[in-house]
Amino acid sequence: MTNGSNCSFTEVNELMMSLQLVIYIPIFVFGLILNSLALVVLCVYLKKWMESTIYMTNLALMDMLLLFPMPFKMHATKHQWNADKRVLCSFLESLYFISVYGSIYTIMCIAVDRYIAIKHPFRAKQLRSPRAAMATCALIWAVVVGATAPVYRFHDDDKGPFRCFHGFSDAGWNPALIVCLELLGFLGPTLVLVACSVQIVRALRSSQQNSAKQQACIRIIYSNLVIFLVPFTPCHLGIFLQFLVRCGIITDCDAKTRISLFVQVAMSLSNITCCLDAFCYYFTTREIRASGGQIRQSFSQRRTNSTSEPPPVASAKEAAACRMVKFTGDSVFLPEAKCDSQPVYALPFALPALQKNNSAEVYQ
């Protein structure tokens, strides 16, 4: 990486040639396996497409898209490409940016979906639906694909050999482009994600019930937040520092060398997000399938009990919870609540709200 100065970055570049291969190879192997399994589970074994399933499938597709250019990136670490491959390089670079920022916005939408389901349960029925989730995912694809148009100007139009994924021209460091990248591509979604996560955790902790499942939900929220911040924060910090170098604000050669090393390591490690997202898939699908087992068991128990005793009458507060309450596919059977001789399902953290006549929104 060069910055238009007399500083030498030869040692940094030689180090990164080997280090990037060490980072990319395991990420590619494990990412391909984990995301392939995730897509099989989400698309084949989970028969009902709920909001969480749609968002997770979209996230898995984004992660698979991130893996596609990786073999080319590994080749580009030690080889220069001929000028006739410039369009192919720009296309592969655009796929990388589509995947990264598509993932960021999908994770943000997952957090917003959870926030609506918990903090605004009565409006959730109008705002949350599989069709709305699919439309949101389609909008994400349209926005990130359109936003990657400037990528095709990231390399100079000379006729000599070049290194793909390296050595962006001044067009790639345009101030307006970097500001949009940092604010709209990272800081904005991060603030939304953090705000939604904090509100969700507060809502769960403020409830009178302190069940193990409720604590598990809180841990999942924190885990998702960490999985988002760990790969993407250093990456965008490095981009900002490198932007200061390109603008001439940072001129010290030692600082430039360290920033060059930091941004390349951070960009390489940010690809680990395609592996970390697998934890989101695991927890979500595990809860969905566990909920299905609980539902089947509950219906079985009810059919057995109905032959020996009449069903209890639901109170007015219990009646507000009749039907299915959905939050990332989770549902827990409430054996005490009956409505029209049908079992009632609700999230564990919805119980205190029901007791306050603020029941979680119901779904048919």
- 227 Cβ contact partners less than 8 Å away, ≥ 6 residues apart: 273, 276, 277, 279, 280
Maximum Cα interatomic distance, the chain, rounded to a whole number of Å: 88
273 within a domain of the structure (yes/no):
yes
pLDDT per residue rounded down to tens, the chain (364 residues): 444 457 878 888 888 888 988 999 999 999 999 999 989 888 888 777 888 889 999 999 999 999 999 999 988 888 888 888 888 988 999 999 999 999 999 999 999 998 998 888 888 888 899 999 999 999 999 999 999 888 887 777 667 788 888 877 777 788 999 999 999 999 999 999 999 999 999 888 887 666 777 788 888 888 889 989 999 999 999 999 999 999 889 988 999 999 999 999 999 999 999 998 887 776 665 555 544 444 345 445 545 554 444 444 444 334 434 333 334 344 333 333 333 433 333 333 333 333 333 333 333 3
Task: Tell me the C-alpha distance between 226 and 31, whole Å.
Answer: 18
The pTM of the full predicted model, rounded to 2 decimals, is 0.77
321 within a domain of the structure (yes/no):
no
DSSP character string of 187-243: IHHHHHHHHHHHHHHHHHHHSS---HHHHHHHHHHHHHHHHHHHHHHHHHHHHHHHH
265 within a domain of the structure (yes/no):
yes
279 within a domain of the structure (yes/no):
yes
186 within a domain of the structure (yes/no):
yes
CATH number, domain of 51, equals 1.20.1070.10
349 within a domain of the structure (yes/no):
no
Task: Tell me the C-alpha distance between 336 and 57, whole Å.
Answer: 35
34 within a domain of the structure (yes/no):
yes
75 within a domain of the structure (yes/no):
yes
Domain enclosing residue 169, as ranges: 10-292
Number of structural domains the chain divides into: 1
